[in-house]
């Protein structure tokens, strides 16, 4: 049972090609994708946990990913993993977590197309990862690479996450953004209203509800950010 990422041209911390085994679209510029945050959105937010077993998928993640792929969406995960730069865990552990999640998803008939992650932080203590980069959300580097890899039409894409960095990133690339209230979502939503930030296109209770909204608004929709 399933329990509840300046881009370096060498691809450091970006995309493990072994994880993306699925065919790219044959229609350049026409593909659509749903970009998903990891911690707090796909899986429980366990902070800077240092054991792979501590990371657990939410129970609604499997049906949500199934529904997206059945509807023809690419499913792409983007996650900031500054714990690497901060010295809390090695980059290899990030990769182990992703492989574990991929195995669990496949066991239940679900999968993603790719997962991109950023291991950097400008205040990190590990020299190799201490930098200002173009891949740490809400910077657009990871999205730009995904768009090239999968020939995506970004205005047709949707970003789902529990942090406002996901919403900011969506708006920066001309896509729609959905804030989920799991993880840090509730506090982020409250803060955004207090600070007067540009609202997300929708606010959903969790990933499953967010996906249902995406599938019912495939042609685009006016902002209806009311929880």
Contacts of 29 (CB under 8 A, 6+ apart): 151, 153
In a domain, 222, yes or no: no
Asked whether residue 178 is domain-assigned, the answer is yes
CATH code (residue 130): 3.40.50.1000
* Nearest alpha carbon to residue 13 among 85, 111, 62: 85
Residue 1 forms part of a structural domain: no
List, for residues 203-219, the tens digit of each pLDDT value. 999 999 999 999 998 86
- Overall domain count for the chain: 1
What digits encode the pLDDT tens for the residues 181-195?
999 999 999 999 999
**In this structure, is residue 65 part of a structural domain?**
yes
- What is the longest distance spanned by two Cα atoms in the chain? 46
Q: Is residue 45 part of a domain?
A: yes
Q: What is the pLDDT of residues 110-155, one digit of tens each?
A: 999 999 999 999 999 999 999 999 999 999 999 999 999 999 999 9
User: Tokens 């929880």 appear where?
Assistant: 227
4 lies in some domain: no
The pLDDT of residue 189: 97
Whether 161 contacts 36, CB under 8 Å? yes
Question: Which residues does 100 contact at the CB level (< 8 Å), separation at least 6?
Answer: 52, 55
Percent of the chain whose pLDDT exceeds 90: 81
Chain Cα centroid distance, residue 6: 19
Q: What is the pLDDT of residue 5?
A: 33
Average pLDDT over residues 57-64: 97
Instruction: Give bridge partners of residue 176 from the DSSP assignment.
Output: 158
Least confident stretch, 10-24, 51-65, 70-84, 95-109 = 10-24
Q: In this structure, is residue 211 part of a structural domain? A: yes
Residues forming the active site: 37, 39
The pLDDT value given to residue 30? 74
pTM of the predicted model as reported, rounded to 2 decimal places:
0.84
9: in domain = no
Please give the residue range of the domain that contains residue 182: 17-21+31-216
- Interaxial angle between packed helices 185-195 and 164-172, expressed in degrees from 0 to 180 and rounded to the nearest 10: 60
| Helical packing angle, 91-107 and 61-70, nearest 10° | 70
């Amino acid at each position: 049972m399933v329990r509840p990422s300046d881009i370096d041209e060498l691809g450091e911390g970006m995309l493990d090609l072994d994880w993306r085994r699925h065919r790219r679209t044959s229609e350049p510029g026409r593909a659509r994708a749903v970009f998903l945050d990891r911690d707090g959105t796909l899986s429980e937010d366990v902070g800077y946990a240092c054991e792979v077993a501590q990371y657990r998928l939410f129970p609604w993640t499997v049906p949500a990913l199934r529904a997206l792929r059945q509807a023809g969406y690419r499913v792409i995960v983007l996650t900031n993993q500054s714990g690497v730069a901060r010295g809390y865990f090695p980059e290899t552990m990030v990769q182990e977590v992703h492989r574990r999640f991929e195995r669990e998803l496949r066991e239940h008939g679900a999968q993603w197309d790719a997962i991109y992650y950023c291991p950097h932080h400008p205040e990190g203590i590990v020299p190799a990862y201490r930098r200002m980069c173009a891949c740490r959300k809400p910077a657009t580097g990871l999205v730009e690479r995904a768009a090239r890899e999968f020939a995506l039409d970004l205005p047709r894409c949707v970003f789902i996450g529990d942090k406002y960095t996901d919403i900011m990133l969506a708006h920066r690339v001309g896509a729609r953004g959905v804030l989920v209230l799991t993880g840090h979502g509730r506090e982020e939503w409250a803060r955004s209203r207090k600070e007067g930030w540009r609202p997300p296109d929708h606010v959903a209770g969790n990933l499953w509800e967010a996906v249902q909204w995406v599938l019912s608004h495939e042609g685009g929709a006016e902002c209806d950010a009311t929880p």
